Amino acid sequence: MPAQTQSRHEEAPLDLKRALRALWIVGVWSTLVWAATRGTLLFGMDRIAHGSDLVRTQLRLAAALPDVVLRSGFFAFTICCVFVVSGAIRKRGVRWPLLGAVLVAATLVGQSLLAGWDVDDASRAVGHDTQRGRMVGHVLLGIAGLYSAASLFAADRARGAVCRLSWSVLPLLLLVGVPLGIRIAYSSIGNRMAIRKTLVDVLAVPDAWTVVDGRRDAPPGIESLCPSVDYRIAGADMPSLMIAPPGEVSFRAPEGHGPLVLNTRAGIHHTLVAPESAWLKRGTIRFEVRVDDKGRKRIDIPIEPQGGRFPGTEWVPVGGESGLWVAPGSEVRLKTLFLDEDGIEKKPSEALRVGFGGLSFERRWSTERTLSSSDKPNVILIVMDTLRADRMDVYGYAKPTTPNLSRLAQRGIVYERAYSTASWTWPSTASILTGKLPQEHGVQDEASAYLSGLNMTVAEALQEQGLTTAAFSANILIVPDKNFDQGFEFFDHGSGGTRPSNVVMPAVLEWVEATAPTRFFLYLHLADPHAPLDPLPEGRRLFAADVPRDFSSRQANEHQHRLLDGCGYTDDGRSILNECVPEQEQIWVHQLYDACVWSGDHQVGRLIELLERLEIADETIIAFTSDHGEELYEHGFATHGHGLHEELVHVPLILAGPRLRPGQRIAAPVANRHLAPTLAKLAGAAFEGASDPLDLSQPSEITQGQTGGILTSTNAGWWKGRYRTRLLGLRKGTLSLHYAPEGAPWGTVEPSALGDWKLYDLARDPDQEEDLSRVRSDEAESLRKELERRILELNARRPSSPLLEAGEATLERLKAIGYVQD
């Protein structure tokens, strides 16, 4: 009898009203759970993976949460509906495998929802190409399975239960109220902005500090300190005042200013926590900062041996992220101690590498944000990394690789012979931001990659004028821990390798939309043409459809490593490029490069379209350029940094906006470093950076101001079989001199007394294939002497800074971007 009753119960018809009520209750609560999980993940991704500050993360969440709720709701109600119906079908005798299949499908779709794989925004999606991304994906798969099983259970139980609609009030209030509240509270950036200006770089001032106490075997001094080789965390190397414990130094804050901020960080070298440092046993490094003997700040960093590939710690800011406020003229004392496991102070048997990094005094204040107009325009500076001018149709290239930039060029000025100051990123980007040559601002190689705070940047000038400033960098070399964030209120940078533009651009567009009511300066550093060459699908279809899918996007870097090892030349200087790099692979790299140029242009077009939609295009100045070009095997090499030929330093330069006459083309050679003073002047700001400012918006000033020629350089050069050789370049008139001060002819062992050089006449030999240094020796010698004289003058103007070794984190960063081999 009970069995018959049970059978009749299973065959009972579905109560539609009760089932719909159950569907609603379970669906609303499920929506809340899925949306909360996805929102939490977005917050973590933005803060950790993208290195965003809290304000920008809040802006991104304010824009994203409504869509998150809608997608979560659609998914939650869909699976609940399927579960309710499946539950009813199961009770009529359908086998369990059907329900299991539905559960598996829901889990996989739920994982996609949580990971962001269902949205057209790569910046909000969990990646597949990193170990961390794959690990997060597996965790999300487990969470999605758990949530799906819980929804199945709840739907099945609720179908036959008495559910009240009031049970859905709380989740509904949260689903509507939280996104709305966040959007109201955080969809704008406020009316005031904070400004920071470096007054004194303690490490750059000779005799600025006095040793109070120190070890005889390791007295206090300036070195590069690297708390962690893992450049993805805040432990990268920087110039530091090393104080091996026990030790103490003192110095005074500058006078003549209001309240100051001591900006410094405490850190220990990563080798102290490596397994091989077990001789230390366990202990603690204590850092003490005292100001006029009135207050004391203590920071304790434990020494605990770690495993893994990147053992290390992070920098610890003294006084927290806001720094330590001090009065002008105050005496500051920095002290380090070593405490054993029992907390007793001891003197270690060996000197320990610990110290204070980035030691400087800043002045801070706040000011009102201003509104933009055609008279007080916004400013956008776009640097497309690794873009050579001759691969753009606006510069005469036969393929339509840059349709959006061609349209931008019609609205402004095109500089036909623009040059970068160097053939790789760190020195040339520093020049674009400061208006100075590398020998003047000091950033010339990996050992000097920290941009001194004594250099004024265009961002600082514009911020003091009231512009809200932000930087978005796709290149991991242009980051705050190398001090490239001077003058930027917001700085977006990644924690991995070079970031694709489709990961960077969503945050850029959201920031512009949130900031548009106020006047702003946007620095956008994209890297689509930089290896790895991963174009957008449409770009690949248009320009690289014949390239095999299994051809590595990093192949150009692999080619370059072989070529720098010498496989492209014989011992007497004869090129055997095709024996080292197959011709077909060279063609594929060419095609992928064109596809990547198109991809970068597409992203620029998205920004221009937004400006037009917001109706601020007519009150926005846009400057577009590149930090350097790219060799595509013309002179026996690939990528960049190794030479100074035209393909490496001839870059695009376009300037468009209000008060700029459209349709102009300037043929005179110019340096793109002059963008800094030009943009400052167009924005009405004073710029005290460059010693030889040039207004690029005035054609007459260009022809008068470039009589000295264009200087270029690289400290990572390759010269007749010698790698990592310093190269200097001077273009004057139609002549181009390449000079290797430590260079020598092919087949020689020792450098020549005066170095070695080549001379090209670009008027008759634009591809730089014929060396005229012997045929026109007098002209070559004259240019060489002029170049030496100018370099000496520039070196004398450089901010004082110690000559340091490149830290391990810097080298690891260079490996990640392809500049250095493992």
Residue type (1 letter), 579:
E
Higher-confidence residue: 671 or 155?
A: 671
Same domain for 239 and 172: no
pLDDT of res. 10: 47
The tens digit of pLDDT for each residue in 228-262 reads: 887 667 778 888 999 999 999 999 999 877 899 99
pLDDT class of 87 with cuts at 50, 70, 90: low
Domain end, chosen from 146, 168, 186, is at 186
> Cα dist. 725→253, 708, 714 in Å?
40, 25, 8
Residue 360 lies in a domain: yes
> Cα dist. 618→270, 379, 407, 666, 676 in Å?
51, 11, 14, 22, 21
Higher-confidence residue: 45 or 249?
A: 249
Mean pLDDT value across residues 732-739: 96
Q: What are phi and psi of 153, to 5 degrees?
A: -65, -45
The tens digit of pLDDT for each residue in 468-497 reads: 999 999 998 999 888 999 999 999 887 667
Q: In Å, how far from its chain's centre is CA 573? A: 38
The tens digit of pLDDT for each residue in 736-768 reads: 999 999 999 988 878 888 999 999 999 999 999
pLDDT of res. 806: 57
Residue 4 lies in a domain: no
pLDDT of res. 8: 41
CATH number at residue 219: 2.60.120
H runs (alpha helix) in 272-314: none
Same domain for 386 and 455: yes
Mention every residue, 6+ apart, whose C-beta is less than 8 A from residue 15. Answer: none
d(CA 414, CA 395): 9
Higher-confidence residue: 89 or 149?
A: 149
Domain end, chosen from 156, 186, 216, is at 186
Domain end, chosen from 135, 169, 186, is at 186
Q: Which residue has the tokens 């597949």?
A: 128
Same domain for 466 and 428: yes
Same domain for 319 and 271: yes
Same domain for 652 and 572: yes
DSSP 468-497: EEEEEESSTTSSGGGTTTTT-SEEEE-SSS
What integer best gives the mean pLDDT of the chain?
88
pLDDT of res. 736: 97
**143 Rama sector, left if φ>0, alpha if ψ -120 to 50, beta otherwise:** alpha
Are 730 and 708 in contact by the 8 Å Cβ rule? The answer is no
Same domain for 295 and 440: no
User: Which of 306-315, 429-438, 503-512, 696-705 is least confident?
Assistant: 306-315
Are 504 and 723 in contact by the 8 Å Cβ rule? The answer is no
d(CA 523, CA 469): 8
Mean pLDDT value across residues 186-200: 85
Question: Which range, 124-133, 194-203, 383-392, is most confident?
Answer: 383-392
d(CA 158, CA 149): 14
Same domain for 470 and 346: no
User: Which of 188-197, 248-257, 641-650 is least confident?
Assistant: 188-197
pLDDT of res. 574: 92
User: Which of 9-18, 34-43, 696-705 is least confident?
Assistant: 9-18
Same domain for 438 and 289: no
pLDDT class of 1 with cuts at 50, 70, 90: very low
pLDDT of res. 725: 94
Side-chain half-sphere exposure of 708, counting CA atoms within 13 A: 13
pLDDT of res. 688: 83
Residue 2 lies in a domain: no
Residue 1 lies in a domain: no
Residue 780 lies in a domain: yes
Same domain for 42 and 182: yes
Structure tokens at 647: 């393909």
Same domain for 580 and 658: yes
pLDDT of res. 9: 42
CATH number at residue 745: 3.40.720.10
Same domain for 214 and 82: no
The tally of domains found in the chain comes to 3
- Cα Rg, the chain, nearest whole Å: 30
Residue 691 lies in a domain: yes
End-to-end CA distance of the chain: 77
pLDDT class of 127 with cuts at 50, 70, 90: confident
Are 306 and 257 in contact by the 8 Å Cβ rule? The answer is no
Residue 299 lies in a domain: yes
pLDDT of res. 6: 45
pLDDT class of 330 with cuts at 50, 70, 90: very high
Same domain for 139 and 114: yes
Domain that holds residue 30: 11-186
Mean pLDDT value across residues 78-101: 68
Residue 291 lies in a domain: yes
User: Which of 252-256, 278-282, 443-447, 683-687 is least confident?
Assistant: 278-282
